[in-house]
Structures are given as structure tokens and as C-alpha cells.
Structure 1
């Protein structure tokens, strides 16, 4: 016949069991907290508390890997920043070069346009033939600039009457020649008159065809109103 436990007994067994379990837990905790110490390195009764060797090594390994990971991440970030800076610098240089090229092209175009405008506005000196036609035309251009009246026909008819178009013609027989101042050139002008009516910009040469024509036309304009009004010796 089995014995039946009373409530009091159950309470006593339960308490005893709890005490046993607590003791076991305490002993286990102490064992986990104990450090393996080589024999002879600690005196009896000395308490040594430290983390287990295996756990410590594991933590150190994790820490080392973490440091390596952080270093790698830092290097990647640094390299990325350098690359970004290089890309920005290259883009800025390209932009600056493009602007410089555009400015240079614009300046060159402006210079070309200014040169072309100056060339168009510059009156080129015409080239006249070295013959009677050319001498008359050049003389008329100078006469126009100095407001001396006269036409091509007026000059031509008087030149043909006076010298037949010979710029080296000279009169050595009239009164002027007898007085030592012979008439010379296309329009047979004497030296005193040539000097008095010489037009600046032409050679100081009585035989020079253009200088002779312009000075003679200047004299005729002063005395007769225009070389066109002269129909005989003047």
C-alpha cells in the first residue's frame, strides 16, 4: 500500500528541491566564471575572475574584423570622394576650355568683321594709266578735292592746243622765253605762275604732267573762272 503525501510534505519537498536547484546553479555559474590557470600560478584561496579564453578570442576576432571592415569602408569612401573630385575638376576644365575657345572664336570673328568693315570704308587710291588720259583723270580727282573747277573736255582741248599732249614740251621763242621763263609742260605754264598756283600734294616739278595740269587749272580758275573758259593762249 503506497503512502499518500500530505500537502505539508509536498511543500517541504518543493522547498528542498528549490534549494538544490539554487546550489547547482551557483556552482555552474562559478564554474563558468572560473579561468583556467596553469598549476602553480595562484595561491590557494586566491579568487580569479576573468572571461573565458575562447569567448575573449572570439570577441577579439569580431573586433578585428569590424576594424578591417570600417577601414575598407573608409578607403572606399575616400576613393569615391577623390574620384568625384577628379570628375568635377575634369568637367570644370572642359567647360573652361570650351568657354575660352568660344571667346577666342568670337573675338576672331569680331576682328575679321572689323577688318572687313575698315577695308570697305577705306577709299583705295585708284591707279591711273601713265598716259594723257590717265594724267587728266588723276588731275580731275585732285582738282575735285581742292575745289578747282574744270572738266575732262576743258583740260583736253587746251592741252592739245598748247602741247599736243607732250609733257616735255617747251616754248623757247615767245616773250616769256625771251624773259628767261619759258612756258613748259602740257599746258605751257611759266615757272612763276606754276609756283604761285602749285597745289600741295603734287610734285614741285613744272614738267610733271599732273602737277602741271593742276597748277594751270588752278591759275585758269582764278583768272577765267575755269579752264573750260580758256579757248586760246592764256
Structure 2
């Protein structure tokens, strides 16, 4: 019976391999060579990730900037979202229309669960702030009523007196409400400066009493009314005091 021997598992050598080099003598020189699995092998450097294009979001019915910023955990909240998309949203952050596309910025770090309730309360407070941050731009009808009302609002900002009734009364006498009316027969016309527009203003007077923020076209209804009322205020105290040719 063969003698029992000790059995040992052959060691796996993964760190080095030997290359035998014959020398001039009897000895053989073994040179270690590092392999790919060597513990000291240089680690690979991950390729730099290219910057991802900003995400976009299409506004749905019932959305708000606060809601979108919260649901997408956007850094900077709704204010940053509004700042990034102001050209698309417009001047009122509290009013966004379904169908418009918003660019979403970077995400905020995840909030601990314990702070979510307070964060949502803060979001609701910010929503109320957004709704009142910028009033919706006032609109006017494109007719005599709308022109007079828009002129009155501009006049109020510039401290120009006048009432709806006073303006309307003088317009009906001067042009019957026709913004393109022109007088080609009186002395002003003979002098080369015919009276124009709703309140029949000659060009030199229009230019002298033109109100900033209105059109430079004397036929423009709002610009014509506002300039005429500015002139009437300087000469008569108010357009309300004008009851005939002026």
C-alpha cells in the first residue's frame, strides 16, 4: 500500500509570473513581471461625464411654478425656476399656461423625511407669494372706451388731471370718436400743421406735450388723448374745463 502523503492545495499565484533568463553561468535569473491582477496595478480613471442637457417640462393644467419646483426637487425653488424661464412665463410668476415648455435646473439634495411637512408648508406660502409677486397686466378693449380708460391710467401715473366724462365729451365734439380724423381746412392746416386724431392735436403740440411710454404717432388713440389732456391741464387746468375749440 503506498505510503500516505500530505496533500496540499496548490497555491494560486496571481501576483507574479517569472521569466527565466539564462545567464552565462549555471544559475538561472528569474525576473518578476507584474500582471493585470497585481494588487499594485494602477486603477482606471472613469471618463469624465459630459454635461447633460437641461431637462424640460411641459406645463399641464393645474400646475404652478411652486408645484413643479417641489415635485422635481429643484435647487433654488420656484424663484430660480421663474428666473430661468421668465422669457417664457412672462411678468406674472403666479400665472403659467398649459403647454409651455420650462427648462428645469439642477436638483436640490434630498430632504430628510422629518422636514418634508415643513418644507411643503413653506412651498404653499411661496405659492401665495408667487401669486401676488407681480399683478397681471391690465388689458383694455380696442375701442373708444378702452382708449379713454388706458389714457386715464397713464395720466394718473403722471399726475395729469381729467375725467372719463371730460375726455369723452371733447372727443365726440372734435372727432366723433374717429382716431384717424384730420382737419385739412382750418388755419392750422393752411399753416401746414393740420389737427389730427381723437382730440385734434397739431404735431407741434403733440410733440411738446407727449407723455413718455406712449406712442410717438399722433394718430395713436392713447397717445393722442394723453398728450391732449397734458396740454389742456397746462393751459386750462384740466380737459374737464374745455368745452369748445382749444
Greater C-alpha radius of gyration: 1
1:47-58 aligned at under 5 Å gives the runs none
Q: Unmatched 5+ residue regions in structure 1?
A: 1-96
Q: Matched residues in 1 for 2:152 and 2:160: separation?
A: 9
Report the count of equivalent residues: 138
Q: Matched residues in 2 for 1:179 and 1:99: separation?
A: 76
CA deviations 1:25-72 (Å, max 9, x no partner) are xxxxxxxxxxxxxxxxxxxxxxxxxxxxxxxxxxxxxxxxxxxxxxxx
Once the two structures are TM-superposed, the CA of residue 111 in structure 1 deviates from its matched residue by: 3.5
Q: Matched residues in 1 for 2:239 and 2:126: separation?
A: 43
Q: Unmatched 5+ residue regions in structure 2?
A: 1-108
Once the two structures are TM-superposed, the CA of residue 123 in structure 1 deviates from its matched residue by: 2.7
What is the aligned counterpart of 1:140 among 149, 152, 157? 152
- Bigger Cα displacement from structure 2, 105-114 vs 196-205: 105-114
Q: Matched residues in 2 for 1:101 and 1:175: separation?
A: 81
1:82-231 aligned at under 5 Å gives the runs 100-231=112-243
Once the two structures are TM-superposed, the CA of residue 226 in structure 1 deviates from its matched residue by: 0.1
Q: Matched residues in 1 for 2:133 and 2:185: separation?
A: 51
Once the two structures are TM-superposed, the CA of residue 101 in structure 1 deviates from its matched residue by: 3.3
Q: Which structure has greater strand proportion?
A: 2
Partner secondary structure for residue 212 of structure 2: coil
Alpha-carbon spacing, 1:165–1:105, altered in 2? closer, same or farther (3 Å): same
Q: Matched residues in 1 for 2:112 and 2:162: separation?
A: 59
Q: Which structure has greater helix proportion?
A: 1
Alpha-carbon spacing, 1:98–1:118, altered in 2? closer, same or farther (3 Å): closer
